[in-house]
A and B are shown apart, each in its own frame.
Chain A
């Protein structure tokens, strides 16, 4: 089996997720070539062919040119599997590749089973086992599902691709997340509020528990998107990554993007009315209770 692994770079830096497709290829025992639009000064460590184009020539968002370059490489390498990360780069590009080749795509792969791919469904409460029909398949990998333990070694054989720079998309720069607010990464105890708090007034009972524990309060994305908490308090793949001694998730279901930001915490407690909530997968203790009753009771007990 031959694979083409699509690595990722942003602002001249190779993204660490780039090695996840490599681990995947190793695990299924496949041969691998890599593709990267990136910077010559930060190439992946990998013993094999690297098809490379200069990021500054392609531009930040130019999916059509990335597609054209990948199709050129596919034509040369004839891979059976094209592997990307399920990231803002990968989920944007993968369907374009699949459509151009008229082949199937399997998104957010977390494992493989008898030659088929396993993907999550319904907020990871279920899994689908998916089979592709054609000779070639495009897959994207769930972030963190694969990955090498150590930074790999090796030097690629670079084959440089020439770029055509025209695009329908005009890139007008980056916007960074707002600076300031709390630095959750410094907190030893974090009590986080999810959509399960129901209304903004209930944030107070989460805050009260954080206070009595001497910690900070955090939030899941919907709480921040609704302006109930500031962005600096958001935990997850588009917020902060934290690893406190104690993380208490209140009314948070445990979507993969939230877990990405807190699963390395030393001890995790979840308060949830849903016994099957996926947060149970990472929680050391899942308390099945209504947070509106449980949190004030816990706070009172700790104060007393």
Chain B
């Protein structure tokens, strides 16, 4: 069994974002980087599947600049066997179709049985790369899974719909799954595993060798949303903030007597 996980490195969403010089995306200066939250569930599910099967190879793949190798090392420390880094300093300019196409170009002859991706990336949030990748590889995809079981070549998954409803779906591998929050509890890498991960294979392949398609969408500009909410912002000493808020609640709501 061969398992592929696709992960993306994203900035911490609590960051104060600035735009890049071209005004097309955020500036990558002074940001803290981490694994896309949805992809942590993908990594954990792949490791759990290998633990269940006893024998399987888990390959982690990421497209991006050299910086993304730090995040790939976390996946290796969580338990992935080896890493494939597709090196591209301007991957943020590539559209979901191009990202999916380069992953497909790498994965095409590798015969992966199961592929896990996140359901969406936190910065781009297109929710496209996984489904496009499956389509390009000619395998079925199930999106937004919150439950995964594997038995005898078939996966039984819980697919999240709206309002707490789930659909139970069964299909045979090879197949791709996009992982939703809460699918499992991603493990923390232990110190010995972090040390071990340093010796695991992590190869970098140049983007140019794999990219054969043009973008279907382009970002004309990135901007700060217009502030619509005219809410009040209170800042300062906790004691004073408390008095201010109580006064506002007494004035504006009927709930404080």
Residues of A with Cβ closer than 8 Å to B?
A: 10, 60-61, 64, 86-88, 91-92, 94-96, 98-100, 102-108, 116, 119-134, 168-177, 188-189, 213, 221-222, 224-226, 231, 237-239, 245-246, 253, 266-269, 274-277, 280-289, 293-294, 297-298, 301-302
Contacts and interface: CB of A to CB of B under 8 A. Distances in A.
A164 to B, nearest CB: 16
B124 interface: yes
6 contacts: A123-B13, A125-B17, A127-B222, A172-B156, A237-B163, A286-B234
Across the A-B interface, give the 5 residue pairs with the lowest CB-CB distance, nearest first: A177-B164, A104-B216, A225-B182, A95-B131, A104-B217
B26 A122 contact: yes
A173 B245 CA distance: 48
A174 B185 CA distance: 23
Contacts of B17: 122, 125-126
B233 A275 contact: yes
B222 A129 contact: yes
B25 to A, nearest CB: 8
Given A92-B143, A122-B122, A245 B217 contact: no
Interface residues of B, number: 80
B168 A134 contact: no
A93 to B, nearest CB: 9
B95 interface: yes
B234 A285 contact: yes
B191 interface: no
Contact of B125 (A108, A129, A134, A237): A108
B95 A95 contact: no
Contacts of B136: 99
Interface string B234-257: 110011011101101100111110
Contacts, number: 245
B1 interface: no
B164 A288 contact: no
B167 interface: yes
A129 B13 contact: no
Contact of A281 (B143, B214, B227, B253): B227
Contacts of A102: 216
Contact of A169 (B142, B231, B232): B142
B131 A92 contact: yes
A176 B227 contact: no
B140 A132 contact: no
Given A104-B217, A126-B225, A301-B243, A96 B131 contact: yes
B160 A297 contact: no
Given A130-B217, A134-B216, A286-B234, A222 B181 contact: yes
B234 A288 contact: yes
B228 interface: yes
Contacts of B166: 174-175
B26 A126 contact: yes
B140 A105 contact: no
B22 interface: no
B107 to A, nearest CB: 16
Given A104-B95, A133-B215, A175-B158, A126 B222 contact: yes
Interface string B199-225: 000000000000000111111111111
